[in-house]
Amino acid sequence: MDLTYGPLQRFLFSHHFYSGVRRAAGILLPIAVLGGIFGWYASGLIATFGALCVAFIDQPGPHEHRAREMLGGTALSTLTVTLTGLASSHPLLIWGVVMGQCFAFSMLAVYGKKGGQIGFACLLLMTVTLHNALSTQDVWVHALTSLGGGLFYTLFSYSVSRVMQLREKEQALSVALFATADYIARRADMYDLDQDLEKSYRKLIVCQADMTDKHQAARDMVLRGLATPKAQSDSNRVMLWNLFVEMIAILDLLVATRTDYAFLRHKLMGTDALLFMRDALHKMASDLERIALAVAREHTAPQRSSVKAELRALEFEIQQMHTNGLAQRDPELYSLCIEILRRLRNSAKTIDRMIVATRRDRDAQLLDPIKIDRSLTQFLSRQQFRPHLITSNLRLDSPICRYALRVTLAAGIALALSALIPALARQGYWILLTVLIIMKPGFALTRQRNGWRLVGTLVGCGLAFGVLYTTQHETWLFAAMVLSTIIGGSLLQINYLLASAFNTNAVLLAFNFLDPGATTIIADRALDTFLGSVIAFGCSYVLPWWEAQFMPSLMRAAISANREYLRAALSQIQAHVTHASELEVKRADFNLRLARKNVHVALANFAEAFYRMILEPKSRQWHVVELNNIVMQNHMLSSQISAVATVLMSSPKIPEASIEFLNALLPQLLPAPEQPTPPVPKSLLDGTFPDLTYPLKQLQRSIVLINAEIEVIYDKARINAEVPENANEAA
C-alpha cells in the first residue's frame, strides 16, 4: 500500500489526530505541572479529571461555539462535583443524588449529539467523585480544583483554536473532500457488473449520509467569517472557499446524472462502456484524495492520474453506438450515455481546477462571490439549548425520557451490586462508569457499543499488562500513557473499539502511578467492565424505543424534503423562463441550494435510522423491504430532480409542457387524502424531446414507486399525520 495516500497519513493529518493531541495536552498539563513541579499529585489528578470532562465536549467545530459549550460544561460539572461530594458520606443520600443526576443529565440528549456529550461529561465526573467519600471541607477544595482544571482546559483549547483557526478550517475541508472521494468511489461501484447492485446502493446511501455530515462540518468551519473584506483578500481563505464551491459543484454534477444503473447494466452488458465509466470515477476519487491530503498538509496537490484515456475510450464507444444505429433504435440509452460522458468530462475539468486552487495563488479570485452574504448563515448549524425541550419530553412516550429512565435504572443496579457484594465495593464506580459509557438512546447503538466496549477493554487490559510486564521505568510508562491518551482520543469518532482499548490502557497506567503496589487492578477492570456490560445489555430491553417508531415521521420528512426540492427547482426554472429580475433569480438560486442541502440531511436521517433498525431484533423491525425501496427511491428521486432541473436550465428554450408536467407531479408527493390527485399529462412522453423524456419518465417512476410502497405499508391518511417537531432530533 502507498502510505502517501493511505489511511495512515489520512489519519495523521486529519482533525481527529490534531484534536486528540490538543485534548491530550490540555488533559495532562494540570497533573504534569501540579504533580511534576509542585508534587501535588492528588490535586493534579482532580484538575486533570476536570479537564478530561471538558475535553469530551471539545469536539471539532467553530471555536466560538466550542468555547460557550465548554464553559457551560465546566459550570455543570463543577455543580456535579459539589452535589456528589456533599452526598458522598451519606449512604442513602448518595443513591438519590446519583440516580437523580443520571436522569437529569441523560435528558440533555434532547439537544442532540452536543447535549449528549455535555451530559456524559458531567456523569463521568460524578462517577470519578464517587471514588472516595469526602468531608465538607474537602468537597469545596475538590470542586474548586476541578473547576480550575475545567477552566484551564477551556482557556487552553480556545487559545490553541484561535491560533490554529485556519488549520482547523483546512482540516474540516480535508475531511469533507475525503468523504466526497469515498462517495465517488461508491458511485463507481454502481457501474461494476461484479458488484451486487442492491448492496452497492446501500453502501452508496450510507456513504452519502456520512458525506452529508462531513459537508455540514466543513460549511460550519469554512463559511464562518468569510463575508469580511479581510477574509476575502486572504489567499488561504480564497482557496478554501473555492475548493468548497468546486467540491459541491462536482457533487452536483454526479448527482444530477440521471443514471438508471439497472437499465445501464442490462443494456450495456458485454461492452466496455461501463468499465470506462467505472475507471474514470475511481481515478477522480483518487485525485480528490490527493487534493484532500494536500489541503491537510498545506501542500500543492500533485496530478498523478488522468481520465483522458477513459473519456476518449468512452467517447469512441458512444461513436460506435451511433454508427450502429443505437441513437435511432434506443434514443434513451444513447442520450443517457452522452450525458454521462458530459458529466464525467465536466467533473474532470472541475478536479483540474481544484488541483490548481491548492497552489494558493495570491491573485486567485473568489468563485461565485455573490453567494457570500448574510444568507450563508442559513446553511450553518445552529445549536439552541431551549429549556422547554426538556420539559416537553418529560413524558413516557418520549424516547429521550425512556432513555433517561433506563440509564437511571442501570445506575441503580450498578450501585446495588457494589453495595451488596463487598468484593466490588472499592471499584463499584467503574461498573457504573461502564454502564454510562455503553448506554445510548437507541437499542442498536447500545448493543453495538456494548460489544465494542467489552472487547476494547479486554484488549486494553492485555496491552496494559504487556507494558507493565515489559518495563517499570516511570519515563517509559508516562510516555506510553501519553501516547495512549492521544490515540484513544483521536480514534473516539473513528473506531470506538480501538479507542476503548487505548483509553483503558491509559487509565490503567495512570492508576499504576497512583498505586504502584496494586496487583489486581487489571483483572478488576476487566471484571467491572463485564458486569457493566451485562447490566447495560439487560436494561436496554426496559422501556425500549425502537427505530421502527421513527420510521413514519422520518419517511415523511424525506419525501417532504424532495417535494420542496422539486418546488424550488420549479421556481428557478420559472424565473429563467420569465426573465425575472436579478434579485428574484438570486433568491430562487439560494432557495434551490438550501432545499438541496435540506433534502440531503433528511435523506441521511432517514437512511441512518433505517440501517440502525436492521440491527435490532427482527421482531421489532418494520416493513424492511418496503422501507428499503423507499430509501433507495428517495435517493434516486433527488438525483432525478437535479438532473431534470439541469437539463431544463441548459435548454435554449424550455417547453411549457415540461413545466406543466412537473407542476402536476408535485401533488403526487405525499398527496392529501381529502383531495383528488390531479392526473399527470402524457404529452411530453411521446419522444418529441429525447433529452427531457427519459429523465421525466424516471422522475415520475420514482414517485409512483414511492407511493406504491407507502400503500403497502399503510393508508394515505396515516402518512399525512404531522411529523413531531423533535422526531429528527430524537433520531
What percent of the chain shows pLDDT beyond 90?
A: 13
Question: What does the alpha-carbon distance between residue 483 and residue 17 come to, in Å, rounded to a whole number?
Answer: 12
d(CA 570, CA 662): 8
d(CA 117, CA 77) in angstroms, rounded, equals 12
> Which residue, 327, 332, 318, is CA-closest to 693?
332
Number of H helices, E strands in the chain: 30, 0
Query: 11-20, 82-91, 221-230, 465-474: which range is least confident on average?
Result: 221-230
* CA–CA separation, 118 and 54 (whole Å): 8
Question: What CATH number does the domain located at 164-367 have?
Answer: 1.20.58
Residue 469: Cβ within 10 Å count: 8
What integer pLDDT is reported at residue 520 of this predicted model?
A: 67
Look at 3-17, 172-186, 248-262, 291-305 and tell me which has the smallest mean pLDDT: 3-17
Place of cell 420514482: 702
C-alpha cell at 409: 435504572
In this prediction the pTM is 0.79
pLDDT in tens, 577-587: 777 777 787 78
Helix residue spans in 615-689 (DSSP H): 624-650, 656-665
Residue type, 573: I
Query: What's the average model confidence in pLDDT over 139-156?
Result: 92
CB 397: neighbour CB atoms within 10 A? Answer: 9
The span from the CA of 206 to the CA of 212, in Å, is: 10
Name which of 388, 299, 302, 312 is nearest 344 in CA terms: 312
At what angle are helices 331-357 and 261-268 packed, to 10 degrees? 110
pLDDT band at 3 (very low <50, low <70, confident <90, very high): very low
Task: Kindly report which listed range (299-308, 374-383, 451-460) carries the lowest average pLDDT score.
Answer: 374-383
Q: For residues 435, 530, 46 and 163, what is the CA-based torsion angle, rounded to 10 degrees?
A: -70
- Residues 326-371 have pLDDT tens digits of 888 888 788 888 888 888 998 899 998 899 888 888 777 776 654 5
Residue 4, pLDDT score: 42
Structural domain boundaries in the chain: 1-163, 164-367, 413-544, 547-730
* Phi, psi of 612, deg, nearest 5: -70, -40
Take residue 700 and report the three cell numbers written for it.
Answer: 415520475
pLDDT band of 410, cuts 50, 70, 90: very high
- Residue 158: CB atoms within 10 A of its CB come to 17
C-alpha cell at 536: 447495560
Label residue 23 exposed, middle or buried (CB < 10 Å: 0-12, 13-18, 19+).
Answer: buried
Give the span between the Cα atoms of 394 and 115, in whole angstroms: 16
Mean residue pLDDT of the chain comes to 81
**Residue 506 CB neighbours (<10 A):** 26
Give the range among 96-105, 244-253, 427-436, 676-685 with minimum mean pLDDT.
Answer: 676-685
The C-alpha atoms of residue 712 and residue 723 are separated, in whole angstroms, by 20
- Tens digit of pLDDT for each residue in 623-635? 888 888 888 888 8
Which pLDDT tens digit goes with each residue over 107-136?
998 888 888 888 888 998 898 888 777 888
* pLDDT higher at 64 or 535: 535
- pLDDT at res. 487: 85
Chain-centroid distance, C-alpha 439: 19
Question: Quick one: cell of 722?
Answer: 404531522
Q: What cell does 59 get?
A: 469536539
